[in-house]
Amino acid sequence: MKQDPNVNYIIPLPLAFVPLIKLMYKNSKFDILCAKVDFPTIPPKLDIYDDATIEKLDEKSVLSLNGLRTLSVLLKSIENIETFRNTLRCIRRWAKSKGIYSNIFGYLGGMS
């Protein structure tokens, strides 16, 4: 990623509560959550929704994947996903305008 001219900055945060990499790609900010898997190679169909897979991971890796696992369950329970997404965008915009959108500081974050 460091070699890519579209990446403006890249900051690894391995000691964060959930290890992540912060980067800016083409003027868009991204937080990439990291999970460590103890496999010689990653299987092409690694099922992170299978509890047996999660049991093999360290605590920080489980925390990294919990957001995606929770989101999957949440989306299955929503009848109108388009309405949900539009509402979510409005809530995010409102929270950012009020300065309360940053789970790093204990405010609303993506899953909130």
- Confirm whether 99 is domain-assigned: yes
pLDDT at 104 over 80: no
Q: SS3 of 103, please?
A: helix
Would 106 be classed as within a structural domain? yes
CB 33 within 8 A of CB 48: no
Domain ranges, residue 85 = 80-112
Asked whether the beta carbons of 67 and 80 are under 8 A apart, the reply is: no
**Is-above-0.75 flag for pTM?**
no
Is residue 14 situated within a structural domain?
no
Total domains in the chain come to: 1
Residue 19 lies in a domain: no
Q: pLDDT digit string (tens) for 67-84?
A: 888 888 888 899 999 999
**Average pLDDT of every residue of the chain:** 85
Q: Which of 29-33, 35-39, 41-45 has the highest mean pLDDT?
A: 29-33
Please name the helix (run of DSSP H) or strand (run of DSSP E) that holds residue 69, with its range, or none. Answer: helix 59-76
